[in-house]
Structure 1
């Protein structure tokens, strides 16, 4: 009978010898190091592109420039703590910009997401032909750069050369109609993008579930309301979060229309308010404070939407 010699670090009975490292902790250690190596690029990007800029913006928000003495020495930085934040929240222009964005979001978000969901349901239905062609046609506006799209719409709204001003019952570049024009521009550009998200989620719905519902007598509308929309709820909430954040950061459409109409002021939205404070007034402290307040508002609204999503899922 052949007697097998015990491997190094083990005793004859297969047990680990005293003082020898067990292979299980070594494997766990290697897995931990591998996980750190895989997460390192993301961590570096997060620190370099998110945390460091936020920290620097917070640092700038604590200072302001003031003239010293008679002003012959030029402005100097003065530590003012949270004074810049109080200047922003007590500024009527900033509060008015928040009101403009809130009204824009109340109109744009339901219109855009509802239209994108409706188009996705139509493309997913069995009666639609040439799905790829129609999906590409709806998605094309998203491929147009925002500034170019804004210029196209601005010329269409122009009362001198644009055809829409003669057709619409209101002035699209007037004070009462410019918000509707901005909503139309943003909806035209982003509806196709969100439609692709919804359509992709709808294609993942099990076909056997739809076939069973059809066998039970459920029509297309009933299937959409009772099966398809509930099963893509998570994708809908993700699209809602991104749309809420994008609405708070509204910038491209107003800044393009500002050159065509006086209805869009330099502080029409919070992003324009930050732009005016930093690049026009050279008030870096006030601009940094406004940008951080805008970031906090975006984070709170996103957390609220995600909490509602988790509650609905439960």
Structure 2
């Protein structure tokens, strides 16, 4: 007679105690609260970045033509990538890009070196004095950009500004509105206004360096200069890469500085002096929004590619 195999009944999983349930609900609520803080950022990013990018890309694929003297209406036709091809062949656009690129090659390393040296010097003083220096060095960064440019335009003025008479007393003829000095004038404003931000970022990175490393270096007989060069600088390399990438983005998109200088010296600063100025002119003076949108996307691609290359070449792990 065959035997029947009887399997034990499966036990249903025990329900978690109420304390565990409350803990799970509490963790989920905290996670939801944390995620909710990011909602305003993503909404702003979608409205002010993603939406304009999509609209600009859609605009760049069309061409608007006015019939007659503009009284017969406008005709919008799909042109594909014709506006992009026109932008890639536009000598004025790439001429402005070349001017800004040469300007960035000089200004960005100068700003980085000055910010690094100033942050190292602030780090050498006591914490109380360092706080006072940080406030003083951040004042140019806290001044609104337009206000700072207007102040410097007044200082540069050969009629009412104090700089031209000062250099004349030294026997130097300095016309800060001339073609030979216009980039020097703009570069001085950019370095002056962005130096405080770079110092703040680099100084914050210096505070994260373990102090035991400094103690070991001093025991080994390392001087302050050697500690700064061999320990501090490698540790703030990531911060320098960050400020460099931000500097590249800001410099290639420079607009307000030359635009205000153009109001003072239009013979030196032309309408297509920088890529952004040409885009602005095409959009609001010429009225070709489609071509301006295509140029904007080309500029964004150039800035993104250059920033990615710089980040890839310079971003390495610290020691």
Distance in 2 separating the partners of 1:227 and 1:288: 46
Deviation at 1:74, TM superposition (A): 2.4
Indicate the SS of the match to 1:65: strand
Deviation at 1:290, TM superposition (A): 0.9
Residue 246 of structure 2 is matched in structure 1 by 242
Does the C-alpha gap of structure 1 residues 42 and 149 become closer, same or farther in structure 2, counting only changes over 3 Å? closer
Structure 1 counterpart of 2:289: 284
* C-alpha distance after superposition, 1:59-112 (max 9, x if no partner): 111112213478652222122211111222222221111011111101110111
What secondary structure sits across from 2:263 in the alignment?
coil
Bigger mean CA offset, 166-175 vs 233-242 = 166-175
In structure 2, C-alpha distance between the alignment counterparts of 1:169 and 1:85, rounded to whole Å: 44
Q: Give the 3-state SS of the residue equivalent to 1:66 in structure 2.
A: strand
State the TM-score, normalized to the length of structure 1: 0.85
Moved more, 126-135 or 296-305: 126-135
Deviation at residue 47 of structure 1 after TM alignment: 2.6
Determine the structure 2 residue equivalent to 1:264.
269
User: In the alignment, what sits opposite 2:6?
Assistant: none
Query: Are 1:201 and 1:235, in contact at CA under 8 Å, matched by a contact in 2?
Result: yes
Is 1:215 aligned with 2:219? yes
CA deviations on 1:132-167 (whole Å, 9 max, x unpaired) are 222111110011111111111111111111122241
Partner-residue secondary structure (3-state), 1:258: helix
CA displacement at 1:227 relative to structure 2: 0.2
How far the C-alpha of 1:225 sits from its partner, in A, is 0.6
Q: 2:188 aligns with which of 181, 184, 187?
A: 184
**Count of aligned positions:** 294
Whole-Å separation in 1 of the counterparts to 2:104 and 2:200 = 21
Q: Which moved more, 1:260-269 or 1:163-172?
A: 163-172
CA distance in 1, matches of 2:46, 2:132: 42
Q: Does 1:294 pair with 2:299?
A: yes
Q: TM-score, normalised by structure 2?
A: 0.83
| Consecutive unaligned residues in structure 2, runs of 5 or more | 1-8, 16-20
Contact 1:205–1:228 (8 Å) recurs in 2: yes
Q: Secondary structure at the match of 1:265?
A: coil
User: Structure 1 stretches of 5 or more lacking a match?
Assistant: 1-9, 18-22
How far has the Cα of 1:129 moved from its partner? 6.9
Distance 1:65 1:129, change over 3 A: same
Q: Give, in angstroms, the shift of residue 127 of structure 1.
A: 7.1
Between the aligned partners of 1:76 and 1:178, the Cα distance in structure 2 is: 42
TM-aligned CA distance change 1:63 to 1:170, over 3 Å: same
Deviations 1:116-136 (A, max 9, x none): 110000000147972222211
Name the counterpart of 1:202.
Answer: 206
Is 163-172 or 85-94 further displaced after alignment? 163-172
Q: Distance in 1 between matches of 2:137 and 2:276?
A: 28
- The 5-angstrom pairing of residues 26-65 of structure 1 reads 34=32, 41-65=40-64
Preserved CA contact (<8 Å) 2:253 2:276: yes
1:175 paired residue number? 179
Query: How far is 1:210 from its partner?
Result: 0.8
Residues 182, 71 of structure 1: alpha-carbon distance in 2 compared, 3 angstrom cutoff? closer
